[in-house]
Structure 1
Amino acid sequence: MNKLASALTGLGGERVALCDVSVTADLQDLLAEVTVSQTYRNDERVNIEAVYRFPLPLDAVLLDLEVDIGGRVLKGVIVEKKAAEEKYEDAVEAGDAAVMLEAIEPGLYTMNVGNLLPQETAKITFRYAILYRWAGDRLRFFLPTTIAPRFGESPHLPHQAPEASLTVENQFSLRVEVRGALRDAQFVCPSHAVELVKSSESVVLSLSRPKAVMDRDFVLNVKAPQATRSFVLCGQDGDGLAAVASFQPFFPGLQQPRPLNLAIVIDCSGSMQGDSMEQAKQALEGILDGLQPHDRIALIAFGNSTNVLSDRPLPCNKTNLAKAKRFAKALDANMGGTEIGNALREAYAVAGRSESADIFLVTDGEVSDWETVIDDAKKSGHRFFTVGVGSAVSEAFVRELAAGTGGECELASPREGMADRVVRHFERMRAPRAKRVVIHWLEGAANIAPSTMHAVFEGDTVVACARFDRAPAHGAAILQVETDKGDIVRQELAFPAAAPSGSPDGLSTVARVAGAARLKELDDVAGLETALRYRLVSPWTNWLVVAPRTEEEKAQDLPALRKVPQTLAAGWGGVGSVAMSISMDALAAPSAMYSRSVDFAAMEDFDLSEAETVRRALPLDLPEPYRRLLELVDAEASRLDVAGALDLLTQSGLAAEFDDLFRHAADLGLRVDVVAAIVLARLLGGPLGEFLSGEAQVALASLQERAREATDAIREMGRHGIALARLTQQPVARQVLRERSDEDTLERFARIRELLDHLEDAMRRSGECMQQERARHAHREGGAIA
């Protein structure tokens, strides 16, 4: 954590209690196990209670929790929620240390660390398992790191409501090990720059830098055509056996795609500004391009009000599609708060009462009262196909909304392609609907979950669980789907032998995963009983650790509450941009795409000093300024640093091309030599890089790292400027702050934000000039030959 982050959090100047987060993930053939360590430290003079609200994947099943404090390592136990809260409070009041982990809604948890003494550190480690959800031969593994601000009043207790901070950058380290058949997969990481190391046993991916800011989901897309995607897992469940079946059905080819009656709902609230809005418009463009003449559409844009294309679905003729595209082009994230309930009621009215009407929703999902929205959606009779966008999407809302209405969900971070998501949803919507879905278990199956199943889509994972009092000798689980077209599809999965649990109570990971799957369908009494039996954190149970202290060590006063702020999600509300940072990140990061079919070297094992020392001959059509630049660098590679960047650009004749950019930077008080270093790193990091000698490549790598740091700093200033503008709106409205008192500061931040756009424009123009000059040279050479 940087000095600013560790020193500035609350108004009273209290320090951030969360000082480190480390994550290790083990991707096995059939499921992933993830271990998270959170380290809390009290640098204050009083004892504190640290409260940290954090996200986990919706399907995560927490398995273990342990606390390392005061030289002791204590294991967590599952306790009924009210009893856990009372024991936690009693321990804190008695001066002892206590840790309690609770689930406050699907996918969101609160860690309470009570009575952390001055200069004391507590390391809390928990582990969870997650089953894979395949879409064809593709798997999206992701780790959420922050909670974006939500619209509306939080339904949670005040100390549990997350607060985003502009001055805190929580950071994490990451190691992902891929074993088994998945090690032969292709990996794409659109969210972070990563490094890859391979061995005969596994593939290990880690962040290209020691730590990353927790301002976006970590996303790893895996393409594994040869992986096992349909299977049955069996494990010991006390004296019985638990089974988890993962089906992936494929249907016969469609004779005629189903016509669509589609209501398209686009979130245009303020939180969608920036990356999310660009993603939404890309999705809408893809939707409109995928429509056929026999389809019908309605378009609804919403914020705190709604804007509709028409009060009824329109046939998709050329006139109406042109009208829809004009409507889409004019959309922007300027419609206020996320009043999604009103927007969906508008969609229900426009779509009519036809059960064939589907709703295609694109949103970041940042609403507080989302469970009420889902309840209303279930009553509407319409299927929802959702696309969750943004760097920290609310997975629970968009996933549960789709699942609860018989639809499906896709998630897309700013650097992921939107076209694949739209195509996938169109395939689902046009496919025959499942009329009847049945899973035939072996005799003796009990505690089956889900108890009923309605929506099944080709190529998507279908998970079901059951328990047996005794292990079946042999047999299979069978998924049978009957479509409304009369087709019947069957998939049969054989039962494997069950391995011993290795746990004193005979509960295997499979048994606990199966137990967690049943919780959604149970009432309070059965839910509590199941959660206690399978040691699961749930709406009825918490993890609890109490660390008694000696009388001399006990805290003498009640602890001061310290909420750990969330790092503001990248791109949220237009604050910064994940998508824009692609070209910037390329300054120092290797490509994030790896394939086992090609030998890739990890950056840490690649020594540029061993590269060839003689650069390639310069092409004849290279414009003279660029030729001079390469010759200057080749003659004295040591000049490739911040101090020499501006001189190199000037002597080569390239500085004039960027004169406006340098003046812009100087006017804002930024160092021109640093901006020149960014420009030089970009120029040489592109096509010119192949003509650099090995020595120059080594120097360039160092320059690129410095340029990346400078770019991040400029971008951060822009982010804070936008937030400052928003923060002053309310004091101005309440007549606490004079309307123009902060004008100079806001204007300067706005111009700093524009500097990166100016840089992109300058780099684009430079590239275009180079291409035009080379084209003119080719034309002259062609004419001379003729």
Structure 2
Amino acid sequence: MKIETLTGEVASVPEAGLGALRTERGNLPLDSVDVQAAVTGLSARITMTQGFQNPFDVPLEATYVFPLPDRAAVTGMRMEAADRVVEGVLKERGQAREDYEAALAAGQRAALAEEDRPDVFTMSVGNILPGERVTVRLTLSQPLPYEDDEATLRFPLVVAPRYIPGTPLDGPSVGAGTGADTDAVPDASRISPPVLLPGFPNPVRLTLSVDVDPAGLPLDGVRSSLHTVTTDGRTFRLEPGERLDRDFVLRLRYDAGASCAVAGETFTVTVLPPPGPAAPRPRDVVILLDRSGSMMGWKMVAARRAAARIVDTLRSGQNGGDRFAVLSFDHAIERALPGGLSAATDRNRYRTVEHLARLDARGGTELLRPLEEAVALLSGSAERDRIIVLVTDGQVGNEDQILGRLSLDGLRVHTIGIDRAVNAGFLGRLAAAGAGRCELVESEDRLDEVMDHVHRRIASPAVTGVSLDMPSAVPGTLAPARPGDLFPGVPLVVRGRCTGPGPVTLRGVAADGSPWEQRLEPVTTDDPAATAIWARAHLRELEDRYLAGDGDPQRETERIVDASLRYGVLCRFTAFVAVDTRVAADGAPAHKVIQPVEPPSGWEATPADALSTASTRSVRSAPGGYGAPPAPAGYGVPAAPGAYGGAPVPAAAPQPPGGPVPGAAPGGPTRGFAPARTRMPRQSSPTAAAVDARAQVAEELRRLRAARPASELERRQILADLGSRLEVLVPGALTDLVAALRSCDDPAGPRGRDLDELWDRTLRELASYEEEGEKDRRPFWHRRPR
């Protein structure tokens, strides 16, 4: 490949891909990622090291959006540069951000680690000097999920593009990504990093190793499903040259049993279900199949096979037979059979499998509506097992909105995630909310194995209504708060805080209706990760409660922050910040860059409507569903300026030091190496205008409250004048109120009691408008999706 340099010379770069440029010091700020994991029994301690290099001639601020295991507890951060080592401090998120910005303004090196989703994090490293290298180390602990005699260590390595629904918000973006912030995803710009063009030379050196200590459990075998690993006994290493484009998955085959382990003030109860199959009960099953554009290729094939396998396992019969419905969705919903739930007859199952075989990928992932429709379909069958099975890659940005709106009482939700970079955090949270199971499929080879597991999961549980009785347990600390049901082959794990060892009794109802009980005697262990793993699970329970709108938001926020700081575990309301006291630069960094990520492995070139975003949604174009608006160009296809939810690119946008950005699509920064968005001055942004308007409305409200003239004529004049001012101050808002106020100019306008009611209504609506403004000014991590 030949490329033209800034001097007009043409140089050949054989290994470069489409759109790739080379600089003398390299292409991108992130040059290495090293992951060192130590597995002990059913938990892991992990150190992740990110290396940043400044290839420019001015100080740099680098931003990297990256994934971590959704159940992992981040417990420490360290920044190293030259001969300086700075330990990170966990603080309330707003305070941590202030400290970070103040350090950059003073010319100090600083690093900031924030959580944007349970499995999506942002690392910002500022004032990296020209040619300098800075490393940031994160330490974390995580439990290993254990099912069907196998524990799984899954370490995600790329944040895949996610569908962003909703209406775009006014004002500057809260992040530097390519997605537009919306009312459904207020932080979309923080979870949508730019994506490298296919063929771009491997920009990051990846090393990963796992040391395995069975801790007394019989280890029968270890296997990796997506990467080739080498081993020298109990240490497993990734081969050199791998890219950050898919999850690392290592499975360890153990034999385990029921136990209660107490480490300090933390306990972990693990219990296996009783042997033998559960007695079958009639079921109502709704299968939701994601056919959006991100499911293209092998994922769509696997999803169709998975749904068909579930349909084939349904039982027919005049009395006690199963009923089902299959809903495929993208921006619209399509039913395999007309009407509601259908009997699982041979004919209906055959017609459904035929329908599934014709489905292909298209459109955007509007997930909330099909989930709500599935809940409605199952609302009238309380005497039967009510089950939702969701087959998807989970690549949506409005996870919080979905979990906050759904009511899953009495329903069981199983999720099947199909992707090599699956959104496991969301699918796990959804399955937990529905007392179901989450299964992940990273390749077609694993599909049959997973479907065998799913068949057991959608069968009747072995024990229902499990409760835990432990006198020494601290109330309100169980995670999960509702233990759920016991399924064949799936151990139940409950964690909590306790005042000391004590007997544990688990109770429930067996499949035959008889009482079920199991007693455990605690065993004291020395597990340093136990408290951190419990704290992370506890914080997730509190965060989900906050998003669901339960309780007072201020009080819930304080409770989450207190727990995070007390146990030293990162959450959405806290952040790790490391500040070097030495001054390294003259003020804030002159250049800002957001690190682009790899296209996820297994994702094919995306068609025009595959990853539709909210930035262009304006009409409905499909009967019965939301229309699929234009979407970003596919991988390798130039994106138009402003595509993928990004702001339009100025015609004369300045180039960063060192020349044009490498790896970017010709149309703008939506693919490849994108400069971070410039923060607009407050007075010139739409948000600033809105803030000023709200301030003036607040002043109008203050004056209106101050005096209520006795004269009816004076009140009519005041309200009429107020209506004319509001029409200019808040165009398009308070329209009904403005019309009512302007009617006071009319001789036939409101009088007497009607005028009194209009005065009181004006006070109420202006107060409500002012209160909404206070909500809009809250930090983005406090905003709940609408």
Interval of TM-score (by shorter of Structure 1 and Structure 2): 0.5 to 0.7
Residues 365-444 of structure 1: pairs in structure 2 closer than 5 A:
365-379=394-408, 381-432=410-461, 434-443=463-472
Mapped to 2, the partners of 1:18 and 1:407 lie a distance apart of 38
Higher relative contact order (CA 8 A, sep 6+): 2
SS across alignment from 1:185: strand
**Counterpart amino acid of residue 580 in structure 2:** A
Q: Does 441-450 or 288-297 show the bigger shift?
A: 441-450
Find the counterpart in structure 1 of residue 535 from structure 2: 515
Residue 493 of structure 1 and its aligned partner are, at CA, apart by 3.5
Residue 724 of structure 1 and its aligned partner are, at CA, apart by 3.1
Find the counterpart in structure 2 of residue 196 from structure 1: 231
Choose the corresponding residue for 1:176, options 180, 190, 210.
210
SS across alignment from 1:283: helix
Choose the corresponding residue for 1:265, options 277, 288, 300.
288
Find the counterpart in structure 1 of residue 250 from structure 2: 220
SS across alignment from 1:212: coil
Residue 259 of structure 1 and its aligned partner are, at CA, apart by 2.5
Structure 1 residue 460 and structure 2 residue 490: aligned? yes
Residues 19-98 of structure 1: pairs in structure 2 closer than 5 A:
19-98=31-110
CA contact (8 A) 1:27 1:33 kept: yes
Choose the corresponding residue for 1:540, options 543, 552, 573.
573
Structure 1 residue 124 and structure 2 residue 136: aligned? yes
Mapped to 2, the partners of 1:7 and 1:725 lie a distance apart of 10
SS across alignment from 2:403: helix
Structure 1 residue 211 and structure 2 residue 241: aligned? yes
Mapped to 2, the partners of 1:425 and 1:2 lie a distance apart of 47
Question: For the structure 1 residues 305 and 10, does the alpha-carbon distance in structure 2 shift closer, same or farther, using more than 3 Å as the test?
Answer: farther
CA contact (8 A) 1:77 1:543 kept: yes
Find the counterpart in structure 1 of residue 304 from structure 2: 281
Choose the corresponding residue for 2:221, options 171, 178, 186.
186
SS across alignment from 2:77: strand
Mapped to 2, the partners of 1:326 and 1:15 lie a distance apart of 49
Residues 505-584 of structure 1: pairs in structure 2 closer than 5 A:
508-522=528-542, 523-550=556-583, 553-573=584-604
Find the counterpart in structure 1 of residue 122 from structure 2: 110
Residue 139 of structure 1 and its aligned partner are, at CA, apart by 1.7
Structure 1 residue 340 and structure 2 residue 367: aligned? yes
Structure 1 residue 360 and structure 2 residue 394: aligned? no
Mapped to 2, the partners of 1:259 and 1:436 lie a distance apart of 18
Choose the corresponding residue for 1:723, options 635, 638, 642.
635
Residue 168 of structure 1 and its aligned partner are, at CA, apart by 6.3
Question: For the structure 1 residues 165 and 440, does the alpha-carbon distance in structure 2 shift closer, same or farther, using more than 3 Å as the test?
Answer: same
SS across alignment from 2:532: helix
Mapped to 2, the partners of 1:2 and 1:496 lie a distance apart of 61
More helix by proportion, 1 or 2?
1
CA contact (8 A) 1:271 1:574 kept: no
Structure 1 residue 245 and structure 2 residue 268: aligned? yes
CA contact (8 A) 1:144 1:392 kept: yes
Mapped to 2, the partners of 1:322 and 1:108 lie a distance apart of 41
Mapped to 1, the partners of 2:369 and 2:278 lie a distance apart of 38
SS across alignment from 1:164: coil
CA contact (8 A) 1:274 1:574 kept: no
Mapped to 2, the partners of 1:72 and 1:319 lie a distance apart of 71
Question: For the structure 1 residues 556 and 343, does the alpha-carbon distance in structure 2 shift closer, same or farther, using more than 3 Å as the test?
Answer: same
C-alpha RMSD over aligned residues: 3.2
Residue 76 of structure 1 and its aligned partner are, at CA, apart by 1.3
Mapped to 2, the partners of 1:3 and 1:547 lie a distance apart of 38
Residue 728 of structure 1 and its aligned partner are, at CA, apart by 7.0
**Counterpart amino acid of residue 225 in structure 2:** P
Question: For the structure 1 residues 466 and 318, does the alpha-carbon distance in structure 2 shift closer, same or farther, using more than 3 Å as the test?
Answer: closer
Residue 489 of structure 1 and its aligned partner are, at CA, apart by 3.2
Residue 365 of structure 1 and its aligned partner are, at CA, apart by 0.6
Gaps of 5+ in 2: 1-12, 165-179, 543-555, 608-631, 644-648, 650-786
SS across alignment from 1:525: helix
Find the counterpart in structure 2 of residue 307 from structure 1: 334
Question: For the structure 1 residues 461 and 97, does the alpha-carbon distance in structure 2 shift closer, same or farther, using more than 3 Å as the test?
Answer: farther
Mapped to 1, the partners of 2:95 and 2:600 lie a distance apart of 35
CA contact (8 A) 1:259 1:430 kept: no
Question: For the structure 1 residues 134 and 368, does the alpha-carbon distance in structure 2 shift closer, same or farther, using more than 3 Å as the test?
Answer: same
Find the counterpart in structure 2 of residue 618 from structure 1: none
Give me the TM-score of the superposition, normalised by structure 1: 0.67
> How big is each residue's C-alpha offset from its partner over 1:311-355, in whole Å with a ceiling of 9 and x where there is no partner?
222212221121111101101113x11111222233334445324
**Counterpart amino acid of residue 541 in structure 1:** T
CA contact (8 A) 1:298 1:351 kept: no
CA contact (8 A) 1:215 1:567 kept: yes
**Counterpart amino acid of residue 519 in structure 1:** L
Find the counterpart in structure 1 of residue 349 from structure 2: 321
CA contact (8 A) 1:265 1:300 kept: yes
Question: For the structure 1 residues 206 and 544, does the alpha-carbon distance in structure 2 shift closer, same or farther, using more than 3 Å as the test?
Answer: same
CA contact (8 A) 1:48 1:117 kept: yes
Structure 1 residue 149 and structure 2 residue 161: aligned? yes
Number of residue-to-residue matches in the alignment: 565
Question: For the structure 1 residues 307 and 14, does the alpha-carbon distance in structure 2 shift closer, same or farther, using more than 3 Å as the test?
Answer: farther
Mapped to 1, the partners of 2:18 and 2:475 lie a distance apart of 52
Residue 272 of structure 1 and its aligned partner are, at CA, apart by 0.3
